[in-house]
Amino acid sequence: GAVVSQHPSWVICKSGTSVKIECRSLDFQATTMFWYRQFPKQSLMLMATSNEGSKATYEQGVEKDKFLINHASLTLSTLTVTSAHPEDSSFYICSASLGAGEVETQYFGPGTRLLVL
């Protein structure tokens, strides 16, 4: 149980284009989803926390207009990297938790590797 999928797993795009990454909880309803970014040899950096039906909460230093998050249902959250630039190249990982009142074990998606040329 508690499987999270991400799509796509790999994306290469040109500078200036927008990229959408989907995160789905396959066998449970995720009240809360998290988006992380991880640069090589570094730990996870939380970008934002999204709750279904409300606006995402962004971490300090993360541009909300650049990284658009939509959590339209209890099983789907999307991250759109708008006008991507080479410095946005990274490993983007989503995770989902069962939500309030539960131990906040996070179940991670397999990650999306973004390369911006």
Interface segment toward another protein; rule CB under 8 A; list 12-20, 44-52, 69-77, 81-89: 44-52
Cβ atoms of 30 and 47 within 8 Å: the answer is no
DSSP string, 23-78: EEESSS--SEEEEEEE-TT---EEEEEEETTSPPEEPTT--TTTEEEEEEETTEEE
* 43: contact with another protein by CB under 8 A: yes
CB of 88 to another protein, least distance (A): 18
Cβ atoms of 36 and 67 within 8 Å: the answer is no
Interface segment toward another protein; rule CB under 8 A; list 13-21, 62-70, 71-79, 90-98: 90-98
Q: Given the DSSP bridges, would you call strands 10-13 and 67-73 parallel, antiparallel or unpaired? A: unpaired
Q: Give the residue with the Cβ less far from another protein, 15 or 105.
A: 105
Contact code string over 47-86 relative to another protein, x by CB under 8 A: --x-------------------------------------
CA gap 79, 101 in Å, rounded: 26
Q: Give the footprint of another protein on this chain (CB under 8 A).
A: 42-44, 46, 49, 91, 93, 95, 103-111, 113
